Amino acid sequence: MFLTAGFAIPFYAAEPLQTFSALEARIVEALCDQIIPADDAPGAKDAGVLYYIDRQLAGPLKRFAPRYHAGLPAFSTLLELAFDRQTAFLHDLHGDAAALFNLVVDHTMQGFYGSSSHGGNRDEASWKMLGIVDMMGGHSH
């Protein structure tokens, strides 16, 4: 990570977004970080799952883009909270916000554990964590 204009941004931030605004991207990335946080291995944020979701919403998962755009504003206060308070916030979700969060969980899992050719799992982070890089070698779909 490096600092630009006072904000810490991931090293991959130069990758262009196809679907999300900058604010939406920050919200989705915070949600992904809650779903698969980094520990001794990279989490969803470091694996670039935001970019998987963004790319897929511009392509095969386009039907979900309106749900993201309509629902993400309900999560804007998440960005002001510390990690543990974000977790509490997410535990209290209900209705449409809970449904969108469940969708983000599904898409985060796809982006973290799937092939990097689809935009996530940067540097095969999850495959390395699971010790299956050799088994997945050459897997591109």
d(CA 10, CA 87): 21
At 37-59, the pLDDT tens digits run 888 877 888 878 899 899 999 99
Q: pTM, whole model, 2 decimals?
A: 0.79
Q: What is residue 141's predicted lDDT score, i.e. its pLDDT?
A: 46
Cα dihedral: 38, 90, 32, 24 (round 10): -140
At 65-123, the pLDDT tens digits run 999 999 999 999 999 999 999 999 999 999 999 999 999 999 998 887 666 655 655 65
- List of residues 6+ apart from 141 with CB closer than 8 A: 115, 117
